[in-house]
């Protein structure tokens, strides 16, 4: 992998970020890999040497690492990480322990009253409800794997959030957190649901390793429908649905112009936020390359 330093970050910072990256292994699957789309892991495995990524994207990641290392140093047994290595066994997929496939994970903290706690740095504007769904998947998997490996139950799941961009002078605004800290308690799934989820994720990774990521997985914005005048670059109007664009044409009595080809309706695929900004393998992803080649992709950003 080529970790670039386009913005000339200090070397020490660059090196610290570089340490976070190491080549993936065919027979090890992290919990994070498992809940992410399979294509991301497949491309990491196949294209590791061709992946290009700039260190400037990872400055926040480094803050997260520092937070965990500080909590670790705080000692007094209040905080300690638990490592999990679970050899995969699956009747549905015909995998036995001998296959050597291992799921690995690291629990931030396990309390004496059987609660898994995770610490995360997030933005005040983060969509906590959407993220909570992903965190619930991650922590429920940890709980199930912990039970499988150590034979002990986990009763509760909590995520402690630290808002990295919290501003004191906004704390009295409606809806703004009054502290740079918040705890979110997540639903603890029953064992049947967790095991079924684990099997489904494994199935997806092992049976469909190269499938295209879904719209939801790409964090794709809604498509836009533009009513265009032929020969002009700018849209007359933008709509959230094809029906709304058709209604506008009817209301403005533009049907004749539409039949004559003087105006037309153009579908513009919504921006894929993950592919654009958050996916490590985007520069080697054939689907993202194809999307970028589409002339209409992301056009709404320019109007
Ligand atoms: S670039 Fe997009 S489509 Fe490709 S692997 Fe990443 S998230 Fe999936």
> What CATH number is associated with residue 193?
3.90.320.10
CA of 24 to the centre of ligand 1 (A): 17
CB 159 within 8 A of CB 184: yes
* One domain for residues 134 and 193: yes
Same structural domain, 263 and 195: no
Same structural domain for residues 15 and 116? Answer: yes
* Residue 70 and residue 128 in one domain: yes
Kindly report the protein residue whose alpha carbon is nearest to atom 2 of ligand 1: 275
Q: Which among 215, 217, 288 is the best mutation to test ligand 1's pocket, defined by most ligand atoms within 8 Å of the CB?
A: 288
Does the CB atom of residue 51 touch ligand 1 within 6 A?
A: no
pLDDT number for residue 64: 87
Compute the C-alpha angle 205/137/127, nearest 5°: 115
User: How many CA atoms within 13 Å lie on the side-chain side of 169?
Assistant: 0
Question: Which atom in ligand 1 lies closest to the alpha carbon of residue 281?
Answer: 6
- Is the distance from the beta carbon of residue 219 to the nearest atom of ligand 1 less than 6 Å? no
pLDDT digits (tens, 9 = 90+) for 185-202: 999 999 999 999 999 999
| Residue 17, ligand 1, Cβ within 6 A | no
Q: 271 alpha carbon to ligand 1 midpoint, in Å? A: 12
Q: In what order do the strands lie in the sheet with 181-186?
A: 109-110, 115-122, 156-163, 181-186
Question: Which residues of the chain are under the pLDDT cut of 70?
Answer: 75-80, 295-303
Q: What is the CA radius of gyration of the chain?
A: 23
- The number of the ligand 1 atom at minimal distance from the alpha carbon of 286 is 4
Residues 295 and 161 in one domain: no
pLDDT value of position 112: 85
Whether 186 and 292 map to the same domain: the answer is: no
Q: Domain end: 211, 234, 264, which one?
A: 211
Verify that 227 and 154 share a domain, yes or no: no
Residue range(s) defining the domain that contains residue 253: 217-302
Mutate to test the pocket of ligand 1, among 24, 43, 205, 218 (most ligand atoms within 8 A of CB): 218
| CA-closest residue to ligand 1 atom 8 | 213
The pLDDT of residue 78: 54
162 and 273 assigned to the same domain: no
Final residue in a domain of this structure, among 194, 211, 228: 211
Determine contact, residues 162/128, Cβ cutoff 8 Å: no
pLDDT at 67: 85
Same domain, 186 and 223: no
211, 230, 247 - which closes a domain: 211
Same domain, 148 and 107: yes
Taking the centre of ligand 1 as the mean of its atom positions, its distance from the CA of residue 31, in whole angstroms, is 18
Q: What is the pLDDT of residue 298?
A: 57
> Is there a contact between 280 and 40 (Cβ–Cβ < 8 Å)?
yes
pLDDT, position 303: 54
User: How many domains, in total, are found in the chain?
Assistant: 2
- Ligand 1 center–CA 203 separation, angstroms: 19
Q: Is 281 in the pocket of ligand 1 (CB under 6 A)?
A: yes
Q: Tell me, what's the pLDDT at 119?
A: 93
End-to-end CA distance of the chain: give it in Å, rounded: 36
> What is the model's pTM?
0.86
Residue nearest to atom 3 of ligand 1 (CA): 213
285 lines ligand 1 (CB under 6 A): yes
Under 8 Å between Cβ of 268 and 221: no
Are 264 and 293 in a shared domain?
yes
Q: Does residue 106 sit in the same domain as residue 207?
A: yes
């Amino acid at each position: 992998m080529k970790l670039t330093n386009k913005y000339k970050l200090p070397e020490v910072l660059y090196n610290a970020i570089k340490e976070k990256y190491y080549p993936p292994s065919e027979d090890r699957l992290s919990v994070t890999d498992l809940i992410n789309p399979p294509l991301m892991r497949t491309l990491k495995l196949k294209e590791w040497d061709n992946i290009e990524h700039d260190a400037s994207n990872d400055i926040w990641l480094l803050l997260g690492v520092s937070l965990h290392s500080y909590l670790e140093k705080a000692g007094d047994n209040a905080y300690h990480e638990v490592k999990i290595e679970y050899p995969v066994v699956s009747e549905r997929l015909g995998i036995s322990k001998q296959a050597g496939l291992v799921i690995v994970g690291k629990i931030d903290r396990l309390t004496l009253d059987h609660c898994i706690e995770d610490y995360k740095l997030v933005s005040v504007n983060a969509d906590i409800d959407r993220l909570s769904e992903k965190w619930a998947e991650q922590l429920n998997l940890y709980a199930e794997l912990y039970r499988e490996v150590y034979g002990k139950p986990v009763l509760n799941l909590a995520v402690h959030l630290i808002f990295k961009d919290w501003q004191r002078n906004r704390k009295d605004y409606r809806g703004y957190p009054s502290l740079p800290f918040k705890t979110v308690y997540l639903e603890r799934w029953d064992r049947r649901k967790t095991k079924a989820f684990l099997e489904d994720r494994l199935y997806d990774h092992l049976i469909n390793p190269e499938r295209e990521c879904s719209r939801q997985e790409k964090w794709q914005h809604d498509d836009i429908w533009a009513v265009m005048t032929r020969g002009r670059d700018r849209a007359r109007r933008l709509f959230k649905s094809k029906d709304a664009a058709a209604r506008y044409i009817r209301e403005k009595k533009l049907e004749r112009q539409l039949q004559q080809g003087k105006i037309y309706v153009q579908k513009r695929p919504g921006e894929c936020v993950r592919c654009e900004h958050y996916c490590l393998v985007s520069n080697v992803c054939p689907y993202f390359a194809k999307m970028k080649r589409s002339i209409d992709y992301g056009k709404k950003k320019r109007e």
